Amino acid sequence: MKIQIKRYTTEPKLHEAVLEYEVALEDATLLEVLYEIKTKQDSSLSYASGCRSSVCGSCSMRVNEKEVLACAYKVQEGDLVEPLRNAPVIRDLVVDMDKAYAFNAKAKGWLQSSSAKKALTLEDEKRNELQSDCILCGSCYSACPVYSVNEEFFGPFALTRVWKYVSDAREEGISEKIANIQTNGVWDCTLCNECTLVCPQGISSKSDIEKLRSKSAMEGFSDPNFGNFGGGFGFDGSPSF
């Protein structure tokens, strides 16, 4: 089986190339194939990996222009493997996620709660169970088209994290959290749904962002983009620009 891997290095000078490798593995995950190549053919091939079982989020990359976890993707003849987008490539399939992860802090993705205990009900817990399955693999971040126009967008996983806490029955800082995501936050999303399509955990950041938008409206915020277009809704409710 042959696959193509996009290689990238800046040492000793910038060099990019798509290289073809042939491996004799069948029904193998991409991670197994990469390991086979690294240990048997080309030890300079660089990629990140950890748990091998889709829960640590280390080995996200793109195959045929779609984000996958290498450990959860079964390789097909002719696949083209590339690094994630929207994050600086360090080498080959490894990207620098520092800036991406920093959006978790910028978006205030944590629980703000006093020491007073509030017991969660079964229903409370189920409300954001899916969002708390996030493994921070960054697939959604890579698939998001907003970064081509706004590099400071908090992005899908950080906003899902905000929704996870805003929807937590124990959260006491809802207003503060909502106010914090008005700039570079919920309104920058185009609702294109690319993030949902690539999430290995079945999370829809797009839908979490929509819920955060409704919450924002309830808090008295509105979409700044409508203002920019000088329009709004007409008396009959139809948009006018």
Partner 1 sequence: MRSDVLIIGAGGAGLVAALNAHKSGAKVRVLTKEYPTRSQTSMAQGGINAALGNVADDSVEAHIQNTLKSAHGLANEEAVKLLCEEAPKAVEWLDSIGVPFSRTKDAKIAQRTLGGASAPRACYAQDYTGLKILHTLYDRCNEAGIEILNERYLLNFVVNKDTYDKPYACGATVLNIRTGEVETYESASVIVATGGYSRIYDRYSTNSVGSTGDGIAAALRAGARLSDMEFIQFHPTALKNSAILISESARGAGGYLVNSQGERFTNELAPRDEVARAIVNEIEKGEDVFLDIRHLGEAFIDAELPQERKLARLYENVDPVYDLIPIKPVAHYTMGGIEVDEKSQSKLKGLFAVGECANHRVHGANRLGGNSLLELIVFGIQSGENAAKYAKEFDKSIETSAASQSANNFVKGVKYFSNQIDFYEKKAFLGKIFYNNAGIQRDEMGLKAVLGAVRQIQKEIPFMGPRDKSKLYNTNLVEFIEFGNMVELSEIILVCAISRNESRGAHFRSDIPQANDMAYKAHTITWKEDSVLCADFME
* Residue closer to partner 1 (CB basis): 49 or 196: 49
Q: What is the three-class DSSP state of 73?
A: coil
Single out the residue of 91, 152, 180, 226 in contact with partner 1 (rule: CB under 8 A): 91
Single out the residue of 1, 55, 80, 179 in contact with partner 1 (rule: CB under 8 A): 55
> Which residue has tokens 């962002």?
209
CA 32/CA 132 separation, integer angstroms: 28
> Which residue has tokens 């190339």?
17
Q: Which string of b and e fits 62-83 if b means at least 16 CB within 10 Å?
A: bbeeebbbbbbbebeeebebbb
* Contact by Cβ (8 Å): 3, 75: yes
105 binds partner 1 (CB under 8 A): yes
Nearest approach in angstroms of CB 59 to partner 1 is: 10
39 binds partner 1 (CB under 8 A): yes
Single out the residue of 13, 14, 44, 220 in contact with partner 1 (rule: CB under 8 A): 44
Single out the residue of 165, 184, 187, 209 in contact with partner 1 (rule: CB under 8 A): 165
Q: What is the three-class DSSP state of 14?
A: coil
Nearest approach in angstroms of CB 119 to partner 1 is: 5
163 binds partner 1 (CB under 8 A): no
- Could you tell me which of 80, 87, 86 has the C-alpha nearest to residue 65? 80
CA 39/CA 227 separation, integer angstroms: 57
Single out the residue of 1, 23, 54, 223 in contact with partner 1 (rule: CB under 8 A): 54
94 binds partner 1 (CB under 8 A): yes
β-strand partners of 16: 8
* Residue closer to partner 1 (CB basis): 81 or 136: 136
172 binds partner 1 (CB under 8 A): no
134 binds partner 1 (CB under 8 A): yes
CA angle 45, 43, 82 (to 5 degrees): 10
For residues 109 to 128, the per-residue mask of contacts with partner 1, x marking binding by CB under 8 A and - elsewhere, is xxx-x-x-x-xxxx-xx--x
90 binds partner 1 (CB under 8 A): yes
CA 82/CA 94 separation, integer angstroms: 9
Instruction: Report the DSSP pairing between strands 2-9 and 15-22.
Output: antiparallel
Single out the residue of 13, 53, 235, 236 in contact with partner 1 (rule: CB under 8 A): 53
CA 224/CA 187 separation, integer angstroms: 7
Residue numbers of the site for partner 1 (CB under 8 A)?
Answer: 9-11, 29, 38-40, 43-44, 46-58, 72, 90-91, 94, 96-98, 101, 104-105, 108-111, 113, 115, 117, 119-122, 124-125, 128-129, 132-136, 161, 165, 168, 170
